Amino acid sequence: MKVFVTKRLPQEGLEILTASGVCEVSMCDSDDTLTKAELLKRVDGVDGILCVPYDIIDSAVLDAAGPNLKMISCFSVGFDHLDLVEIKKRGIRVGHTPDILTDATAELTIALLLATSRRIPEGVEMVKKGEHGGSLWMCGYGLTGSTVGIIGLGRIGFAIAQRLMPFGVKRLLYSGRTVKAQAAEVNGEFVPLDTLASDSDFVIVTCPLTPETQGMCDKAFFSKMKNTAVFINSSRGAVVNQEDLYEVLSSGKIAAAGLDVTSPEPLPTNHPLLTLTNCVVLPHIGSATFSTRGAMAVLAARNLLAGLQGTHMPSELSF
């Protein structure tokens, strides 16, 4: 069977595929994102696709692959880049990689929060310029005694909450679809989204991208936040209205923002958010540790092989 891997895969996963004897592997041996035209060309006649979140797998891609396509394996937890309605209609199985990247993403989110709130990237630039100031120069906001709000207390949100506890956070609020039993372990209070926005000193977004959450963090949401509040997004870029975020940051209506995800990715180098000193933007590196990416590759490869052979998949997406 033929499979196409849309981006260079860590060696651990590639070895599993090539040693299986199940499939013939064609891989885009590059870290660049494929153009849509190239993706359509490369999936022609394949039985399986191993893709990354930047690959939009829609009906055009499914049509280009043809009737042999039986398996899509995502090198990610999220699957918002897939047309699940069309995929289900065609009886194609889907695998993804939850749990593995929880710790790495939680660690990166804490790092981004601290870098943003304590103005670390800005401070690095001040050192390079040889600048120094007075007693209030380069002051930021600390976590001790603060209120932190987490939108989406799932695996990653909960792992972030656990890591926040040693910092002396006074209150931890969360919002989402339902009350979470594990919230008691981190003294989490379930509150409406508006309350979370208005009461939090730090707002962290870790919810999945769905029709309900798309564009959720907009002008109306930001208007409820404190002007000293820090906003962090490590979920998906489309959860945030970036034009509204730029407006509130540039006008001082909120203090700062840290983004590991944007829409689109990568963010164009001339984007207004990149002109702001109070906005820290990272290139979606939440899972970017060697061990995490290697483990993700192994799981993605095993999912792919199971789907091709019609056997039990280690982590199959139910939809």
**How far is Cα 224 from Cα 202, in angstroms, rounded to an integer?**
13
**How far is Cα 168 from Cα 69, in angstroms, rounded to an integer?**
51
**How far is Cα 51 from Cα 43, in angstroms, rounded to an integer?**
11
Q: Minimal CA–CA distance to 310: which of 74, 93, 35, 54?
A: 93
Q: Is 271 designated active site? A: no
The set of residues, in sequence order, having a beta carbon less than 8 Å from that of 113 and lying 6+ positions away, is 143, 202, 204, 230, 232, 258
**Active site positions, annotated:** 284
